[in-house]
A = this chain, B = another copy of it.
Amino acid sequence: MTKLVIPRKTVYRLSLYFRILERLHQNRIETVSSDALAKAAGVKPTQLRKDLTYFGQFGTRGLGYNVDALHSQLTNVLRTARFQPVILVGAGNLGSALLRYDGFAKEGFEIVAAFDVHPEGAKNAHSKIPVYPIDRMSGFVRENGIKLAILTVPAAAAQSVANELVEAGIQAILNFSAIILQVPEQVVVNNVNLAIELENLSYFIT
């Protein structure tokens, strides 16, 4: 079966719908209107309906969507996206914090190893995830067929580490470093910059 080609921002919204439907499903709610689902996801109803056309229509006019049917459909679409082993590179302040965060595992992502230039210095007392020296990174990625990496190294090191990751076979990077990575077209990068998020919010405070 070939994978549906769905734009990245749509996939992001599908993840949101999926989580809302999961809660509805757990609460034994059987149907949901497109308006209610759109509101819960913070999107316009037209956007929701457009997103759901990627895998056929489930909405019945006036009756809304069947929660279980839509939930299963989204599970199928997103299933491959879960249970990917992940490595984390850069076990400094933020990296160590993320190693102690259990939210990834809860959602089906296991951080199998971390790498740092000073593994012995990693503040890793509360985590069971091993921290290896960074010169073992490429070998580990190759041997274990790792495709997904979390990058929490300082900005000055980020591009060269990213190059090495891509060279070793990494296809997707969640980048917390404060630079925009230059990567080949087939590699996907999502950026999370917590300070910029705060700066952005602050700009709108009156």
Question: Which among A45-53, A54-62, A95-103, A135-143 touches the partner chain?
Answer: A95-103
Query: How many A residues, CB 8 Å from partner?
Result: 62
Question: Among A81, A195, A198, which residue has the most Cβ atoms of chain B within 10 A?
Answer: A198
A8 within 8 Å of B (CB atoms): yes
Is A69 part of the binding interface, using a Cβ–Cβ cutoff of 8 Å?
Answer: no
Interface string of A69-113 (1 = CB under 8 A from B): 000000000101110101000000110111011111011010000
Distance in Å: Cβ of A188 to nearest Cβ of chain B: 5
Residues of B within 8 A of A102 (CB): 93
Min C-beta distance of A199 to chain B, whole Å: 5
Q: Does A174 contact B (CB under 8 A)?
A: yes
Bound complex: CA of A78 vs CA of B96, how far in Å? 30
- In residues 171-194 of chain A, which contact B (Cβ within 8 Å)? 171-174, 178-180, 182, 188, 190, 192-194
Interface-side segment among A35-43, A114-122, A160-168: A35-43
* Residues from chain B with Cβ under 8 Å of A147 in the complex: 202, 205
Can you list 20 residue pairs at the A/B interface with Cβ under 8 Å? A15-B193, A15-B196, A15-B200, A39-B182, A80-B202, A80-B203, A80-B205, A81-B203, A82-B199, A84-B198, A93-B101, A93-B102, A93-B103, A94-B103, A109-B202, A172-B202, A172-B204, A174-B198, A188-B204, A192-B197
